[in-house]
């Protein structure tokens, strides 16, 4: 599950069918909200994403944090936006101790570190 708007760390949720892991998800770095609803320029998506990353990176000094970037090919893949999207990852990759994982990789890591008690 990756649609429960929580903090920047995973959390186990209890359900009738058993536990599920909720992964952080953001509306702040979401191309639908920013480009289609708020009508920001692509450069604003870059600025907001980097500002969010910088804060989460600083917060992660003592424990892991997760940052979601929600994008859709038909939005951020538009030619006038791709250079900003590419620059996000060029900048983030320069920082030490940053991983780029899928939801499944995060689940495997988190389940090993903090098994569900439900």
Query: In whole angstroms, how large is the CA radius of gyration of the chain?
Result: 15
**Mind listing the pLDDT tens digit of every residue in the chain (118 residues)?**
555 555 788 888 899 999 998 888 888 889 999 999 999 999 999 999 999 999 999 999 888 899 999 999 999 999 999 999 999 999 999 999 999 999 899 999 999 988 887 6
Q: Are 12 and 118 in contact (CB under 8 A)?
A: yes
What distance in Å separates the CA atoms of residue 53 and residue 19, rounded to the nearest whole number? 29
Between CA 33 and CA 27 the distance in angstroms is 7
The β-bridge relationship of strands 11-13 and 20-22 is: antiparallel
């Amino acid at each position: 599950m990756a649609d429960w708007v929580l903090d920047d760390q995973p959390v186990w949720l209890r359900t009738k069918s058993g536990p599920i892991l909720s992964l952080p998800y953001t509306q702040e770095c979401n191309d639908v909200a920013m480009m289609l609803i708020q009508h920001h320029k692509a450069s604003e998506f870059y600025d907001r994403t980097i500002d969010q990353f910088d804060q989460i990176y600083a917060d992660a000094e003592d424990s892991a944090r997760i940052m979601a970037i929600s994008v859709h090919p038909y939005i951020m893949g538009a030619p006038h936006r791709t250079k900003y999207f590419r620059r996000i990852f060029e900048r983030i990759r320069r920082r030490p101790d940053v991983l780029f994982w899928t939801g499944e990789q995060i689940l495997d890591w988190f389940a090993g570190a903090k098994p569900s008690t439900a």
